[in-house]
């Protein structure tokens, strides 16, 4: 049995859609795996070169975790991995690996889990749906996870030009979480809720000017994390009225949505932020793919 898995990256939060809204984008984790007597990993992408090659690998640990959770016999794999999803940059690298792990368990043990069952397991593990749900099913998705339930609704994908500004340093999600307040007062909670409500409504109507304005007014997390992000304020100021910018996930990657007709944005970004990797990205509407060949 040979298993092939392809999982897209994701951008999440979209400003005020904190822990709720995410979109799959066209960078990918790809895995080829076969049953083995022990865990062995071969990494074909430079960004994966520092990862373990044995049973301590995140995917090995998650496969074993899901086997225990689903009460099936554990197994080992020989795995070849490629990826262009930067690690610890706010583009859903851990979420894509989590999805791959569960899909592999699902096919190896012939569990035939439904999409909803996969989503429940993934969001229970991740704690929020904004990365794993869009990466699993594709597109732009709003979701809410509570207890053992996940409620989600696909939205029209953003069709304006989009870019990611990827720094050369990592930001661990745990460190970004530590920057957040433990509580919000009532006034701030009402404001944050209203902004996120307008964001969802404007995305559903493809009113991207209004959506962008809401993306720039987050009060849930960006005000508390921006000190961790070099050039956060600089990019917002320089971009001006040509588009909108928000933190991708917990950061440190910055995500830009630009107005149609704005020319040479990528070249301008590369000039102004020469120490960063600049990518133009598109939505992925397909989501994760898992194929088995006997």
Q: Beta strand pairing status for 40-43 and 289-293? A: unpaired
183 annotated among ligand-binding-site residues: no
**In angstroms, rounded to a whole number, what is the distance separating the alpha carbons of residues 138 and 160?**
17
| Token representation of residue 12 | 């999440």
Structural contact between residues 86 and 94, judged by C-beta atoms closer than 8 angstroms: no
177 annotated among ligand-binding-site residues: no
> Which DSSP state fits 158?
P
171 annotated among ligand-binding-site residues: no
91 annotated among ligand-binding-site residues: yes
Distances (CA, A) of 1 to 56, 62, 77, 190, 207: 23, 20, 11, 53, 47
3-state DSSP percent of the chain in helix, strand and coil, to 5: 35, 25, 35
68 annotated among ligand-binding-site residues: no
89 annotated among ligand-binding-site residues: yes
127 annotated among ligand-binding-site residues: no
Please report, in range form, the residues annotated as the binding site: 86-96
Please report, in range form, the residues annotated as the binding site for ATP: 86-96
């Amino acid at each position: 049995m040979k298993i092939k898995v392809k999982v897209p990256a994701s951008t999440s939060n979209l400003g005020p859609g904190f822990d709720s809204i995410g979109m799959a984008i066209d960078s990918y984790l790809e895995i080829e795996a076969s049953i083995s007597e022990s865990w062995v990993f071969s990494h074909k992408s430079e960004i994966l070169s520092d990862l373990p090659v044995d049973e301590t690998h995140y995917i090995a640990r998650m496969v074993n975790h899901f086997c225990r959770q689903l009460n099936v016999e554990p197994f080992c794999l020989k795995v070849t991995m490629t990826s262009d999803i930067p690690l610890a940059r706010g583009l859903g690298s851990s979420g894509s690996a989590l999805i791959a792990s569960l899909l592999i368990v699902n096919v190896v043990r012939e569990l035939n889990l439904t999409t909803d069952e996969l989503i429940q397991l993934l969001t229970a593990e991740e704690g929020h749906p904004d990365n794993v749900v869009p990466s699993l099913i594709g597109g732009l998705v709003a979701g809410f996870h509570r207890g053992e339930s996940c409620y989600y609704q696909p939205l029209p994908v953003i069709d304006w030009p989009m870019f990611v500004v990827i720094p050369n340093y990592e930001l661990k999600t745990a460190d970004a979480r530590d920057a957040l307040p433990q509580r919000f007062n009532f006034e701030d909670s009402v404001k944050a809720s209203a902004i996120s409500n307008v964001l969802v409504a404007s995305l559903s109507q493809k009113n991207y000017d209004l959506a962008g304005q809401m993306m720039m007014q987050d009060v849930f997390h960006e005000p508390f994390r921006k000190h961790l992000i070099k050039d956060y304020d600089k990019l917002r100021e320089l971009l001006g009225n040509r588009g909108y910018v928000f933190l991708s996930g917990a950061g440190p990657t910055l995500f830009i949505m630009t107005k149609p007709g704005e020319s040479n944005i990528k070249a301008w970004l590369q000039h102004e932020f020469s120490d960063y990797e600049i990518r133009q990205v598109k939505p992925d509407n397909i989501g994760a793919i898992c194929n088995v060949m006997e």
